């Protein structure tokens, strides 16, 4: 082998080695970039999640000593009002802004109250407020707060009467702007809540936090939509007057 050929071979070896080294360096750089990028991404995700949890927890928390209305169901969960003493319990989950609840009240509300008056059922009202909007000026919350004020001031029969008045005069969910506080105060008076603090308590949302907790409690009960009706613990699927009457008769045995 000639000297020049040996030199040529050596040069090629060196060039190949350098190319391999450069490739390794580039690979190492890519690897480092990937690691840095991955770490940065993980940190960004963790920070975003933690911030979201902290902020949203703050927005949903209610005062531990939130004001509770009087005349709540004895032995209940603290968020219900009971009317009647009948052996069959009818739990009604409703939102005062919910059009399907109005449909249920129009169809079966009077039947339910007759069953209660005849001593067949106890009605347990579970108020919920999840249809607040800027358009209706948070009507769901204002209405349930007002109903709690009425029950607190004048008892659960007055709650029932106020409840019926609000469904009879329900503003449209899509186009309505909710009843005003003045209207709520006037219906409260009609229902018999005439205490001197009634108007103030309605306007000041004195049970605002209780309303939030009541809505959360209903969700924990497995109820996420309205109206939901349970007859002695069994969910009523036929929400007509006949469906209700049949279910109550079956439950009474």
Please give the residue ranges that form the binding site for other proteins (CB under 8 A).
30, 33, 37-38, 41, 44-45, 48-49, 51-53, 55-57, 59-60, 100, 130, 212, 215-216, 219-220, 222-225, 228, 237
Q: State the minimum distance, in angstroms, from the CB of residue 47 to other proteins.
A: 9
Q: State the minimum distance, in angstroms, from the CB of residue 116 to other proteins.
A: 25
Closest CB to other proteins among residues 94, 153: 94
Q: State the minimum distance, in angstroms, from the CB of residue 68 to other proteins.
A: 19
CB 102 within 8 A of CB 172: no
Beta bridge partners of 229: 92
Q: What strands lie across the sheet with 234-235, from one edge to the other?
A: 80-83, 121-127, 88-94, 228-231, 234-235
CB 90 within 8 A of CB 113: no
3-state secondary structure (DSSP) of residue 219: helix
Distance CA 187, CA 143 (A): 11
Q: State the minimum distance, in angstroms, from the CB of residue 46 to other proteins.
A: 10
Give the pairing of strands 88-94 and 121-127.
parallel
Closest CB to other proteins among residues 57, 174: 57
Distance CA 129, CA 136 (A): 12
Q: State the minimum distance, in angstroms, from the CB of residue 238 to other proteins.
A: 11
Nearest to 91 by CA among 107, 76, 103, 111: 76
Closest CB to other proteins among residues 100, 246: 100
Closest CB to other proteins among residues 85, 134: 134
Q: State the minimum distance, in angstroms, from the CB of residue 228 to other proteins.
A: 7
Distance CA 206, CA 210 (A): 9
Q: At 246, which helix (H) or strand (E)?
A: helix 241-252
Closest CB to other proteins among residues 99, 155: 99
Distance CA 152, CA 200 (A): 13
Closest CB to other proteins among residues 38, 70: 38
Closest CB to other proteins among residues 233, 253: 233
Q: State the minimum distance, in angstroms, from the CB of residue 138 to other proteins.
A: 11
């Amino acid at each position: 082998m000639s000297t020049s050929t040996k030199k040529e071979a050596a040069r090629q070896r060196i060039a190949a080695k350098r190319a391999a080294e450069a490739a390794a360096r580039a690979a190492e750089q890519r690897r480092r970039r990937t690691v840095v990028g991955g770490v940065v991404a993980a940190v960004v995700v963790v920070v975003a999640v933690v911030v979201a949890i902290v902020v949203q927890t703050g927005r949903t928390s209610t005062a531990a000593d939130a004001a509770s209305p009087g005349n709540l169901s004895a032995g209940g969960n603290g968020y219900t009002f009971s009317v009647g003493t009948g052996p069959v319990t009818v739990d009604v989950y409703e939102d005062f802004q919910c059009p399907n609840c109005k449909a249920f009240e129009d169809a079966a509300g009077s039947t339910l109250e007759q069953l209660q008056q005849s001593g067949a059922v106890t009605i347990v009202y579970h108020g919920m407020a999840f249809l607040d909007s800027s358009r209706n000026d948070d009507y769901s919350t204002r209405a349930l707060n007002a109903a709690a004020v009425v029950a607190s001031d004048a008892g659960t029969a007055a709650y029932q009467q106020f409840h019926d008045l609000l469904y009879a005069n329900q503003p449209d969910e899509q186009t309505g702007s909710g009843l005003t506080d003045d209207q709520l105060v006037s219906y409260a008076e009609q229902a018999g809540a005439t205490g001197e603090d009634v108007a103030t308590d309605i306007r000041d949302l004195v049970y605002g936090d209780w309303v939030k907790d009541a809505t959360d409690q209903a969700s924990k009960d497995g109820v996420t939509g309205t109206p939901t009706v349970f007859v002695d613990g069994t969910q009523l699927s036929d929400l007509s007057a006949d469906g209700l009457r049949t279910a109550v008769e079956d439950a009474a045995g």
